[in-house]
C-alpha cells in the first residue's frame, strides 16, 4: 500500500492576519460612511423642523400681526427647547401640533434658538418693524454655514456668523 502525502497546505498566520487587517479597514470605512449618513439625516430633520416652524410663525403673524415674543428662559434670552417648550405660543394657539425638539440637544443653551427683536435693533431699519431670528446653532454634517441657509443680517450684526442655519423676517 502506497502512502500518499497531501501537498495541499492551509493559510499561514501571516495570510490570515493580512485578510483580517483588510476586513478591518473596509469595515471602518463603512462605519464612517454610515455615521455621515446618520448626521445628514439628523440635519435634514432639523432643517425640516425649522421650515415647519417658519410656516407656523407666518400663520401666527397673519392672525396677530406680530411675531411671538421670546420666553427669555434660554441662553442670552433666546427661546430654546431647554425648558421643554420652543416658541410655546405656536403650540398653544394650534399652529404646531407639539413642541419641536432637536434630535440631540435640548438644554438651556439649545441647538434651536428664536428671538424677536424690537424695531431698529442691530441697525435694521426702524420702518421695517420688529423682526425675528430663528436658527440652528450646530449641524453635524457641515462645519460652517449650511449651503441652503437663507441667512439673516442687519447692518450691525450678521447672524449667519452665529448659526449654521438661520432665517428671519420683519413685521413690516
Order of all β-strands in the sheet with 112-117: 112-117, 131-136, 165-170
Average pLDDT, the chain: 90
Kindly report, residue by residue over 25-45, the tens digit of the pLDDT.
888 888 877 778 888 999 999
What domain range includes position 164? Answer: 13-170
Within a domain: 92: yes
pLDDT greater than 70 at residue 100: yes
Within a domain: 2: no
Look at residues 107, 129, 111 and name the one whose alpha carbon lies nearest to residue 119: 129
pLDDT band (50, 70, 90) for residue 119: very high
Quick one: pLDDT at residue 74?
A: 85
Q: Which of the residue ranges 6-10, 125-129, 158-162 would you say has the lowest mean pLDDT?
A: 6-10
Within a domain: 103: yes
Within a domain: 56: yes
Q: pTM higher than 0.85, yes or no?
A: no
Task: Determine the length of the chain.
Answer: 172
* CB 42, CB 103: distance < 8 Å: yes
Overall domain count for the chain: 1
Return the SS3 of 84.
coil
Quick one: pLDDT at residue 83?
A: 79
Amino acid at each position: 500500500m502506497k502512502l500518499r502525502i497531501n501537498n495541499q497546505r492551509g493559510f499561514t498566520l501571516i495570510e490570515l492576519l493580512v485578510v483580517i487587517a483588510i476586513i478591518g479597514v473596509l469595515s471602518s470605512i463603512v462605519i464612517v460612511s454610515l455615521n455621515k449618513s446618520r448626521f445628514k439625516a439628523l440635519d435634514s430633520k432639523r432643517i425640516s423642523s425649522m421650515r415647519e416652524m417658519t410656516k407656523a410663525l407666518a400663520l401666527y403673524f397673519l392672525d396677530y400681526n406680530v411675531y411671538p415674543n421670546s420666553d427669555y428662559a434660554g441662553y442670552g434670552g433666546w427661546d430654546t427647547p431647554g425648558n421643554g417648550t420652543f416658541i410655546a405660543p405656536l403650540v398653544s394657539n394650534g399652529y404646531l401640533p407639539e413642541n419641536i425638539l432637536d434630535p440631540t440637544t435640548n438644554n438651556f443653551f439649545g441647538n434651536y434658538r428664536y428671538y424677536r427683536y424690537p424695531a431698529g435693533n442691530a441697525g435694521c431699519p426702524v420702518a421695517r418693524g420688529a423682526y425675528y431670528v430663528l436658527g440652528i446653532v450646530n449641524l453635524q454634517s457641515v462645519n460652517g454655514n449650511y449651503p441652503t441657509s437663507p441667512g439673516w443680517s442687519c447692518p450691525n450684526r450678521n447672524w449667519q456668523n452665529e448659526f449654521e442655519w438661520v432665517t428671519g423676517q420683519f413685521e413690516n
